[in-house]
């Protein structure tokens, strides 16, 4: 390959890369669907507060039948370990809803 051809190929590559980089890339993730078990007035607090940090699927895929203490401990972990900004009254309400819905 001749020197002129190499320079031309390099210039063409830079132009093409610049053209690609010039277009802004956007990504809109699909809206998360609220699981049916949380689509009611009781589940509203869980949807509004918990989904600000993680998906609702994270909640509904937890093991069933663990009891109220499991959910109290889970909510406490979100607050104490992950620093979730949840007021104490809301934490109690969330844990109670999750215990009723998922036991």
Distance CA 71, CA 1 (A): 69
User: Which CATH architecture fits 36-102?
Assistant: Orthogonal Bundle (1.10)
| 34-49 pLDDT tens trace | 999 999 999 999 999 9
Instruction: List the chain domain ranges.
Output: 36-102
When comparing pLDDT for 17 and 30, which is higher?
A: 30
pLDDT given for residue 28 in this prediction = 79
Tokens encoding 58: 């994270």
| DSSP codes joined into one string, 36-81 | GGG-STTTHHHHHHHTTTS-HHHHHTSPSS--HHHHHHHHHHHHHT
pLDDT of residue 17 exceeding 90: no
């Amino acid at each position: 390959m001749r020197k002129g051809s190499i320079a031309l190929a390099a210039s063409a590559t830079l132009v093409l890369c610049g053209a690609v980089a010039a277009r802004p890339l956007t990504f809109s993730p699909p809206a998360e669907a609220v699981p049916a078990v949380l689509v009611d007035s009781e589940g509203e607090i869980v949807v509004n507060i918990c989904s600000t940090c993680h998906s609702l699927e994270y909640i509904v895929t937890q093991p069933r039948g663990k009891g109220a203490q499991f959910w109290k401990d889970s909510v406490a972990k979100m607050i104490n370990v992950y620093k979730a900004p949840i007021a104490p009254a809301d934490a109690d309400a969330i844990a109670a809803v999750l215990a009723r819905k998922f036991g």
